[in-house]
Chains A and B, each alone.
Chain A
Amino acid sequence: GQSLEQPSEVTAVEGAIVQINCTYQTSGFYGLSWYQQHDGGAPTFLSYNGLDGLEETGRFSSFLSRSDSYGYLLLQELQMKDSASYFCAVRDGGRRALTFGSGTRLQVQP
């Protein structure tokens, strides 16, 4: 099976940088994904790491270290609209669905 751990809550101010960590345990590994979910909405894809290293997409970056079973999502120049829940997720191969972490609720304050 798979399990993922991430902090439950993070608070930061506008313009700041925040890092959300995720550690995982999987029987097989086919990449680490990150999703954003606003209250009442569906998850939206943010980033994917299949190999070690940093992936950058605008203000968001994601990092993966397979040897450490660890990754993080980095959000820069925080905006109020970034207040949401962020989930890391892994897939164990083939056409299997994603297994999600418990989610990190980010609150951006003025």
Chain B
Amino acid sequence: GAVVSQHPSRVICKSGTSVKIECRSLDFQATTMFWYRQFPKQSLMLMATSNEGSKATYEQGVEKDKFLINHASLTLSTLTVTSAHPEDSSFYICSARDLLGGTGELFFGEGSRLTVL
């Protein structure tokens, strides 16, 4: 079945640095990918919709200059957390839907746990 892969699974960085998280659809093309953030014991909150070849669409309250999204190919979207601060520490999860095949089910990557010191 369709698989979405995310890397790195865990990252620890110093405050003020930038961190890039990659999300790949391994066996299908994804013109659209979705980035979620999840704080401990809370739900998944949609941050932005990544669109291949065009600008991402950000949800209200999400700073586009802080969370840079690039979707340069049909199988790769990247999320860069710029100038990270401790409050950005969270579980970031990407997802994609195989629109051409399968059931249209939304598949999730393994998630990336970011800890900002």
Residues of A within 8 A of B31 (CB): 95
Partner of B32, one of A95, A99, A101, A102: A95
Pick the most buried of B43, B97, B107: most chain A CB atoms within 10 A of its CB. Answer: B43
Please tell me if the beta carbons of B109 and A42 are within 8 angstroms of each other in the complex: yes
Please encode chain A, from 80 to 110, with 1 for each CB lying within 8 Å of some chain B CB and 0 for all others. Answer: 0000000100010001111111110100000
A67 to B110 alpha-carbon distance, docked (Å): 35
Does B25 make an interface contact (CB < 8 A)?
no
Residues of B within 8 A of A96 (CB): 49
Residues B8-52 near A (CB distance < 8 A)? 31-32, 34, 36, 41-46, 49
- Indicate if the CB atoms of A45 and B99 lie closer than 8 Å: no
Please, which residues of chain B bring their CB within 8 A of the CB of A105? Answer: 41
Secondary structure type dominating chain B contacts: strand
User: Complex formed: what's the CA distance from A48 to B103 in Å?
Assistant: 10
* Given A42-B110, A97-B95, 9 other A-B residues pairs in contact with their CB atoms under 8 A: A40-B113, A41-B111, A45-B105, A45-B107, A97-B49, A98-B95, A99-B46, A100-B45, A103-B42
Instruction: Give the A-binding residues of B (Cβ under 8 A).
Output: 6, 31-32, 34, 36, 41-46, 49, 93, 95, 97, 99, 103, 105-111, 113
CB-defined A-B contacts under 8 Å, sample of 22 = A40-B113, A41-B110, A42-B6, A42-B93, A42-B111, A43-B44, A43-B93, A48-B105, A91-B106, A95-B31, A95-B32, A95-B49, A95-B97, A96-B49, A97-B34, A98-B95, A98-B106, A99-B46, A100-B45, A102-B42, A103-B42, A103-B43
